[in-house]
A and B are shown apart, each in its own frame.
Chain A
Amino acid sequence: MQTSAQVPYADTVVTAFIAAAMAWALFGMTAGVYLAAELVWPALNADLPWLTFGRLRTVHTTAVIFGFGGSALMATAFYSVQRTSHCTLFAPGVAWFVFIGWQLGLITGVFTLFAGINSGKEYAELEWPLDIAVAAVWIAYGVVFFGTIARRRNKHIYVSNWFYGALIIVVAMLHIVNSLALPASMAKSYSLFAGSQDAVVQWWYGHNAVGFFLTGGFLGMLYYFLPKQAGRPIWSYRLSIIAFWAFVYSYIWAGPHHLHYNAIPDWVQNLGMVMSLILLAPSWATMVNGVMTMSGAWRKLGADPALKFIVLSLVFYGLATFEGPMLAIKSVNAVSHFTEWTIGHVHSGALGWNALVTFGALYFLVPRLVGRNLYSARLANLHFVLAIAGILLYTLAMWGAGVTQGLLWLSLDAAGEVKYTFAEVMRAIAPYYSLRLLAGLIFLAGAALMAWNLWRTVQGAATLTVFPPAPAATSAATPGAATVTPESKPAAATATA
C-alpha cells in the first residue's frame, strides 16, 4: 500500500501554471503597452472595433490580473501548500482540471471581450456563462487546496496558507455575489442589483478583488518565498498572524472609497474611508515584517537576483498601501478620482508589488522545479534594473498627469463656470501619456527578458520528481512552520523540501 510519503509532490501542474503565467504576462502587458500607445496615437485602433481602447482595456486587465496573477497564485499556492503540509496535492486530477478550466475560461473570456461582450462591471466583465465556469473552477481550486491542508502531516497551518485560504474563500464569495444576474441571452445578462446598490456591490467586489486577489494571495506568496529564499524565518510570526486577521477584517469594508461623492449614502462613504485608513496598519506591519526578515541575510542578495525582486516588491507594497488610504480620504479623492493618479496608484501596486513579488518567486521556483541553475543571473539583474526604471517612470508620469487633470477639471473661471474644456485638459496631459508608453515598454522589455531566461533554464528539462519527507522528519521546520511558537525565531530555517 502506498503511503503518502511515497507519493511525490504534484509539481508538473505547478510548472504548467508558471508557463501560463508568463504567457499571460507577455500578452497582457503587450496589450497594456498597445493601450498606452493608443492614448498617444489614437489612430492605432485602425478603426477596428476589437482594437479600440474600450475593448482592449478589459482584455488587458483580465489578462494581467486573472491570467498572469491568477496563474501565478495557483502555481505558488499548489507548490507551497504541498511543502508546508509535507504531502502531495489532494486530487491532482482536479488540480489539472483547475489548470485547464482556468486557461480555457480566460482564453474564451478574452475572445468575448474582444467581441464587445461585456457585463459592464469592472474586473468582472465576463458574462454569465463564463462567470459560472469561473466559479466552478475556483471551487475546484478550493477543494484541492483545502483538501491538501486537511491531509497535512504538520499540525500547524503555516501563515502563507491562511492568506491563500482567505484568497480562495473571499474571492469565491465576492465573485458569486457580484455576478448574480438575470440572463437575457447567452451573451447578455442584467445584474440582480440596480442603481446605487449595484455600484456598492460592484466596488465591494472590485476593491476586495484588489484586496484578496492582488494583495492577500500575494502575501501568501511572500510569506512562503521570502523566508525560503532568505533562509531565515519570518521576523515576527506573531505579527504576521495579527496582521492577517486585521487585514482580512479591514479590507472587506474599504470598497465604498471608490464611490466618494457619488449617489451612495454619506455614512457608507465615510465607513469605507475610515476602514481604508485603518488598513494602513496591518499592511505596513507586513512590510516591516518582510524587511526585517532579511536582517542578517544580506549576503544572499548578491548571489540571488530573485531575492532582490521580492525585497523591492515590499518597498512598493509599502508605497501602494500608503497611497491607497491617502487616496481614500474624501478631500484628496475629490481631486484624484477619475484621474490618472488612480492609474498611477494601481500600477505602482500591480507592477511594483504584484509583478515584482511574482518575478522573485518564479526566479526562485523555476530552477528548483527542473533541478538546474537559472540560465543567466546577469539577465535577471538587468531585468531588475528595467523593472525599477519602468515602475518609477510610470508612477511619476501618472502622478504628474493626475494632479494636472484634477486641478484643471476643478478650476473655475471668474464667472464660476468650469474653466477648461475636456480637450484642453487632454492636451495638457498628453506628454505624460508618452512617458507612460516609454515606461510600459521598459517594463515589458524586462518581462520579455525574464520569459527568455526561464525558457532557456527549462529547455530540455522535465519537472523533477520530489518526495515529501518521511513521516519521522515532519517536525523539521518549513519556514516558520511547525516549530514556530508565536515568539520564537527558530534556528532551523530551511525547509526539507
Chain B
Amino acid sequence: MSAAFPITLAPRILFRPREVFARIASNQPSAGAVFFQYALWLGLAPPVSAFVGARMFGWLAGAEPLTVSSALMLQVSIAYYILLLCGFVFAGLFLRWMLPTYSDSDGVAGAGDSDSGSDNTVTNKTANTTGACFALVAAAGTPLMAGGVAHLYPSLAFNMAVFIPAFLWSVFLFYRGVPVALNTGAERGMLLTCSMVGALLVMVAGFLGIITLLWVNGFGPPLGI
C-alpha cells in the first residue's frame, strides 16, 4: 500500500534523515504522492525567492545591481520552477533506470553480493521502487531546495556560499540514503550514488549551457554579443 510523502517531512529530512530513509524503505510512497505532496511545494522555494529578491534588490554580482522587468522576471521564475520540476522527475527516473544495474534484479539487492551478477538472493523486495527513487531524490534534494531561500538576497557570492554547503549536504544525504531507502547494500549504494552525482553534475553543467545559450540569444540581461 502506497504511503503519503507530505511536505511536513522536510524538517525531519534535514535533522533526522535516517528516520525518513527507513520510512521510504518500509512505507513505499508512490511517485505521485512524492511529486504532488512534496516536490511541487518545496520546488517553489527557489523561484519565488528569486522573484522577490530580484524585484526588491536586483541581482548583485559584486558591482551595481542588474535589474530586469517584472514581466521578464516572472517568466524567468516560472521557467526556473519548471526546470526544477523537470530536473526532479529526470533525476528520479534516471535513478530508477540505473537501479537494476546495481542490484541483482529489478530494484532488489542481494544479501550477499556476487561476482557473477546472477545471484538472485532476495532479502527485501521493494514493491514501489519508482516511488522510493523519487522519494529519495526529493529527500536528498531538500537542502538544495531549502537553500533556495537564499535567492531572497540575490547576491551571487552569497548564494554560492549557501548553495555549495547545501549541495555537499545533499550529496551526503544521498550517500547515506541510497543503501537504506533502496536497500542496495553499502558498496552498491556507494557506486550508485557516485553515478547519480555524476549524472546530476552533468545536469547542472547542461543547465549552465542552456541558460548561457538563452542569454546569448536575448533571454536575459543585455549582452554585448
**Does B216 count as interface, using CB distance less than 8 angstroms?**
yes
Q: 18 new A-B pairs (CB below 8 Å) besides A299-B115, A400-B160, A403-B208?
A: A231-B115, A291-B101, A298-B113, A298-B191, A308-B190, A314-B198, A319-B201, A392-B168, A396-B160, A396-B163, A396-B164, A399-B204, A411-B222, A425-B63, A428-B62, A431-B160, A432-B160, A435-B160
By a beta-carbon cutoff of 8 Å, the part of chain A in contact with chain B is: 231-232, 291-292, 294-302, 308, 311-312, 314-316, 318-319, 322-323, 326-327, 329, 331-332, 334-336, 341, 348, 389, 392-393, 395-397, 399-400, 403-404, 406-408, 410-412, 416, 418-420, 424-425, 427-432, 435
Q: Which residues of B contact A329 (CB under 8 A)?
A: 209, 213
CB distance from A314 to the nearest CB of B (A): 8
Given A298-B102, A424-B63, residue A315 in contact with residue B190 (CB < 8 A): no
Given A301-B187, A311-B191, residue A411 in contact with residue B212 (CB < 8 A): no
**Contact call B62/A427, Cβ cutoff below 8 A:** yes
Q: Which residues of B contact A299 (CB under 8 A)?
A: 112-115, 187
**Contact call A396/B167, Cβ cutoff below 8 A:** yes
Closest to B100 in A: A295
Chain A, interface SS category: helix
- A–B complex contacts, Cβ < 8 Å, 25 sampled: A295-B117, A299-B112, A301-B187, A308-B190, A312-B194, A315-B197, A315-B198, A322-B202, A323-B202, A323-B205, A326-B205, A326-B209, A331-B216, A348-B201, A399-B208, A403-B212, A404-B61, A407-B61, A410-B223, A410-B225, A411-B222, A412-B222, A418-B224, A425-B63, A435-B164
Q: Which residues of B contact A393 (CB under 8 A)?
A: 164, 168
Q: Which residues of A contact B212 (CB under 8 A)?
A: 331-332, 335-336, 403, 406
Q: Which residues of A contact B102 (CB under 8 A)?
A: 298
**Contact call A301/B115, Cβ cutoff below 8 A:** no
Q: Which 6 A-B pairs have the closest CB atoms?
A: A428-B62, A296-B117, A315-B198, A299-B113, A301-B187, A410-B223
Q: Which residues of A contact B168 (CB under 8 A)?
A: 389, 392-393
Q: Of A295, A334, A432, which contacts B216 at CB under 8 A?
A: A334
**Contact call B223/A411, Cβ cutoff below 8 A:** yes
Given A296-B115, A318-B202, A403-B208, residue A302 in contact with residue B186 (CB < 8 A): yes
**Does B7 count as interface, using CB distance less than 8 angstroms?**
no
Q: Which residues of B contact A431 (CB under 8 A)?
A: 157, 160-161
Q: Which residues of B contact A411 (CB under 8 A)?
A: 66, 221-224
How far apart sit A408 and B220, CA to CA, in the bound complex (Å)?
13
Closest to B197 in A: A315
**Does B156 count as interface, using CB distance less than 8 angstroms?**
yes
Q: Which residues of A contact B215 (CB under 8 A)?
A: 335, 407
CB distance from A23 to the nearest CB of B (A): 29
Q: Of B63, B188, B213, B221, which contacts A331 at CB under 8 A?
A: B213
CB distance from B175 to the nearest CB of A (A): 10
CB distance from B201 to the nearest CB of A (A): 5
- Among B164-207, those with CB < 8 Å from A are 164, 167-168, 171, 185-188, 190-191, 194-195, 197-198, 201-202, 204-206
How far apart sit A396 and B185, CA to CA, in the bound complex (Å)?
29
How far apart sit A407 and B222, CA to CA, in the bound complex (Å)?
9
Q: Of B185, B191, B201, which contacts A294 at CB under 8 A?
A: B191
How far apart sit A407 and B117, CA to CA, in the bound complex (Å)?
49
How far apart sit A240 and B136, CA to CA, in the bound complex (Å)?
34
Q: Which residues of A contact B190 (CB under 8 A)?
A: 301, 308
Q: Which residues of B contact A326 (CB under 8 A)?
A: 205-206, 209
